[in-house]
């Protein structure tokens, strides 16, 4: 996860608002980015700023201004099809509180440490973004908690936290039509610990000693299934597994379910727990990991000439996506709007990206078209940039066109949350450990120190390591887009893009 400030042309779009009156929410009608009319609306919920963010650093007012040479974008106006973000939840190496997570990113703190979950002393890579002191208390009952793979524990907790953030707790859900609420929580690797334990039992003790949970807790759809079982959500439910692009694929699919009228609300994101012998060993075999064992906190260094691979991370990031009509009807706190998306494939190599970035750049173009956003409107990118030799430059080529490790299937979810926070706070988190920038990289990468930035449009980028799938989604945080603001008061907004 790395930041780029400046013009770009891609991805998952968010837009933010400026805070004003705290007595209610406002809805404003806009023609393009020009306000036409405003009407005051009451808002339900107890969030101090209508967006669910309270402790992030304050900043000056941020204004969104469309270029005078850019025509007003043609965007969706049907409130049944417009898709907004009403809740966020995560589990990360920095804990499970969103404000703490983003504040640590802003301070440039590294969560990368030596691995102590297993004996890694014989491994050529002995560090990663290992989560410690994780607690599922209040979210998973003790019996199931002991059985579950960490991948599913992270996903369930992040999912339930997102529902809470969206004012969709158990009591509220019981009053709703849960056949209209679905779940798509993807994963790149699935229940890797459960799978490894099952294989070990087979080899050492024979098939009769394999746990009956071996298959259920290994397969990738269990994140969505278990969360739905716990919450009674009966809408569309499945998993997507496209490596690092997983979560953004899930956002794209969920938004399309809402656009087609198949669901009103979707709980969506990614989860991963691969900091274990099979996961670390497998990526060592791929020669994909940094081997900077003497200084793990400085190992992930996007676009630095001395980068030597990515750092394994883990966690979960989940959003609640909802039709605008549903969100307004129940007085939900709107924190972002999904504008559009696209999916492509490099069709090139299992692990190496196309050097010309064509797969990513075409995905960016299609996403912008779907979102009704002009490239000139984008001036911030939350890049995927995982510190690999080929991947970082390929992504940069597509654009001109470090701190938590690489979360694989969870990456898109965690990065989407960071993207929304960047827009709503006006602070961009730094790209840490950037000491010697690649000469070919000629954009502002926000090196080492956080930065205040007036954001017109933001993009988050995720491109998977296997088969090179590309995913671009367009959201906006704060929610003003050809028509609607739902927050404390009417104000300026921004758009943001994210690409996987």
The catalytic residues are: 244, 384, 406
Contact 475, 423 (CB under 8 A): no
Separation CA 129–CA 56 (nearest Å) = 23
How far apart CA 212 and CA 214 sit, in angstroms, is 5
What are the DSSP E strand ranges found in 366-455? 380-383, 427-428, 451-452
Classify burial at 100, counting beta carbons within 10 Å of its beta carbon; exposed 0-12, middle 13-18, buried 19 or more: middle
User: What token pair was written down for 161?
Assistant: 């936290």
> Angle at CA 371, nearest 5°, toward 480 and 36?
30
Instruction: Please give the DSSP secondary-structure letter assigned to residue 163.
Output: H
Phi, psi of 252 (to 5 degrees): -60, -45
User: Cα dist. 409→12, 273, 274, 384 in Å?
Assistant: 16, 9, 10, 12
Kindly report the backbone phi and psi dihedral angles of residue 186, in degrees, each rounded to the nearest multiple of 5, phi listed first: -95, 170
CA triplet 237, 241, 243: central angle to 5 degrees? 150
Contact 476, 422 (CB under 8 A): no
SS3 271: strand
Is the Cβ–Cβ distance between 4 and 443 less than 8 Å? yes
Q: Which residues contact 285 (CB under 8 A, 6 or more apart)?
A: none
The token duo for 203 is 């080899």
E strands, 197-314, where? Answer: 265-272
Given a contact cutoff of 8 angstroms between Cβ atoms, the answer to whether 4 and 401 are in contact is: no
C-alpha 148/C-alpha 214 separation (Å) is 10
Q: What is the DSSP letter of 52?
A: S
Residue carrying structure tokens 């929580």 = 185
CB neighbour list of residue 12: distance below 8 Å, 6 or more residues apart: 248, 251, 338, 341, 367, 416, 419, 459, 460, 472, 473, 474, 475, 496, 497, 498, 499, 500
């Amino acid at each position: 996860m790395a930041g780029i400030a400046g013009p770009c042309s891609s991805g998952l779009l968010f837009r933010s608002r400026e805070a004003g009156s705290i007595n209610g929410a406002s809805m404003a009608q806009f023609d393009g980015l020009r306000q036409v009319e405003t009407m005051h609306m009451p808002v339900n919920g107890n969030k101090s700023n209508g967006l669910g963010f309270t402790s992030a650093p304050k900043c000056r007012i941020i204004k969104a201004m469309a270029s005078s040479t850019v025509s007003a974008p043609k965007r969706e106006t049907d409130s049944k099809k417009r898709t907004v973000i009403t809740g966020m939840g995560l589990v990360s190496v920095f804990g499970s509180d969103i404000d703490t997570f983003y504040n640590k990113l802003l301070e440039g703190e590294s969560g990368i440490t030596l691995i102590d979950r297993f004996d890694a002393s014989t491994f050529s890579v002995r560090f990663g973004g290992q989560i410690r002191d994780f607690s599922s208390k209040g979210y998973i009952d003790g019996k199931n908690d002991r059985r579950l793979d960490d991948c599913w524990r992270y996903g369930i907790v992040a999912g339930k936290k997102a529902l809470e953030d969206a004012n969709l707790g158990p009591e509220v859900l019981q009053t709703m039509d849960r056949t209209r609420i679905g779940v798509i929580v993807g994963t790149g690797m699935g229940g890797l610990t459960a799978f490894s334990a099952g294989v070990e039992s087979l080899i050492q003790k024979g098939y009769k000693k394999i746990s009956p949970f071996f298959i259920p807790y290994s397969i990738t759809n269990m994140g969505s299934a278990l969360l739905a079982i716990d919450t009674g959500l009966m809408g569309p439910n499945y998993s997507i597994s496209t490596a690092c692009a997983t979560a953004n694929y899930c956002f794209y699919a969920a938004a399309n379910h809402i656009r087609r009228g198949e669901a009103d609300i979707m709980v969506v994101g990614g989860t991963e727990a691969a900091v274990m012998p099979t996961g670390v060993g497998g990526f060592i075999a791929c020669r994909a990991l940094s081997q900077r064992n003497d200084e793990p906190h400085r190992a992930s260094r996007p676009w630095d000439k001395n980068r030597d691979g990515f750092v394994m991370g883990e966690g979960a990031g989940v959003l609640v996506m909802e039709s605008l009509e549903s969100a307004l009807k129940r007085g939900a706190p709107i924190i972002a709007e999904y504008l559009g998306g696209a999916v492509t494939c490099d069709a090139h190599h299992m692990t190496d990206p196309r050097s010309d970035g064509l797969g990513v750049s075409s995905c960016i173009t299609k996403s912008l078209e779907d979102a009704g956003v002009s490239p000139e409107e984008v001036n911030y990118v939350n890049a995927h940039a995982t510190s690999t030799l080929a991947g970082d430059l390929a992504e940069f080529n597509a654009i001109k066109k470090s701190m938590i490790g690489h979360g694989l299937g969870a990456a898109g979810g965690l990065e989407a949350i960071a993207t929304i926070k960047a827009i709503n706070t006006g602070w961009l988190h730094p790209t840490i450990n950037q000491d010697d920038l690649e000469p070919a990289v000629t954009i502002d990468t926000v090196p080492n120190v956080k930065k205040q930035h007036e954001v017109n449009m933001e993009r988050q980028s995720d491109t998977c390591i296997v088969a090179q799938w590309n995913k671009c989604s367009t959201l906006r945080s704060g929610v003003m887009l050809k028509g609607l603001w739902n927050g404390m008061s009417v104000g300026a907004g921004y758009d943001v893009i994210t690409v996987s």
